[in-house]
Amino acid sequence: MTLTVKLFAALRDLAGSDTVTVVLPDGTTVGALRLELGNRLPLARSLLARSAVAVNHDTTDDEHVLAPADECAVIPPVSGG
């Protein structure tokens, strides 16, 4: 399946784009997606580990199984005051 993943903030800067397209086998989990993104963006691995992943506008855990039509976004932690 082919997924287009939306990226925000520092992840977008590291990727040089606000989206990245990945091809993954059917039945792939969010955790496997996170690993694939880390392989593509090695400088972002530690940030990816701390980031939330939203699937169809709801944050989910790494065990969630993805479907080809899912909309995915990786949202890095936010800090400030």
CATH superfamily, domain 2-75, is Beta-grasp domain (3.10.20.30)
Break the chain into its structural domains and give their ranges.
Answer: 2-75
Nearest-angstrom CA–CA distance, 36 and 78: 23
pLDDT of 70 reads 96
**Beta-carbon count within 10 A of 47 CB:** 17
Q: Which two tokens stand for residue 16?
A: 């040089």
From first to last of its 81 residues, what are the pLDDT tens digits of the chain?
999 999 999 999 999 999 999 999 999 999 999 999 999 999 999 999 999 999 999 999 999 999 999 999 999 998 665
* CB-CB contact of 38 with 48 (8 Å): yes
* CB-CB contact of 20 with 37 (8 Å): yes
Compute CA distances 22 → 25, 39, 44, 47, whole Å: 10, 11, 16, 18
pTM of the model: 0.91
pLDDT of 66 reads 98
